[in-house]
Amino acid sequence: MHLSEDIGSRLQEERKRCGMTQAEIAEAIGVVKRTQANYEAGTSDAPAPYLSKVATQFGFDIPYILTGFRTNLAESVLNDVEDCLITQFRSIPEDDQKAIRRILEAMSDDAARHRK
């Protein structure tokens, strides 16, 4: 396997970890599905702006994609469920994010009252 194929394979792994299809990622990032497929197959190299977008919007571990080594921060701070929740949260519209924050704040307040 060539380096581009290794990177593509890890890019695909990160996409699947987030539970997303090639079409969903492509649309969110602003590329066509074929381009996404080429990145994952290693036939085209994903450019830095693309990698920056998938890291920011979906929490892809770019050092892992490029090197094959996971960053320690994500592993030590978030478990897989938390990481997936954050990725999903980042992929929804801002108004929905605000609604979820209000719900979580209410639940947290309620839990704090029960602990007293």
Domain encompassing residue 64? 3-115
Model pLDDT for residues 33-90, shown as the tens digit of each residue: 999 999 999 999 999 999 999 998 888 889 889 998 876 654 556 777 887 888 888 8
Reported residue count of the chain is: 116
Average pLDDT, the chain: 87
Q: Which of 54, 66, 61 is nearest to 90 (CA)?
A: 54
- The tally of domains found in the chain comes to 1
pTM of structure: 0.61
Q: What is the pLDDT of residue 19?
A: 85
Q: Write out the H or E segment, with its range, that includes residue 110.
A: helix 94-115
Give the residue-averaged pLDDT of 90-107: 89
71 contact partners, CB below 8 Å, separation of at least 6: 61, 63, 64
Triad 56, 76, 104: Cα angle to 5°: 65
Instruction: Using the predicted structure, report yes or no on whether residue 14 has a pLDDT greater than 80.
Output: yes
**Helix 3-17, helix 48-58: angle, nearest 10:** 20
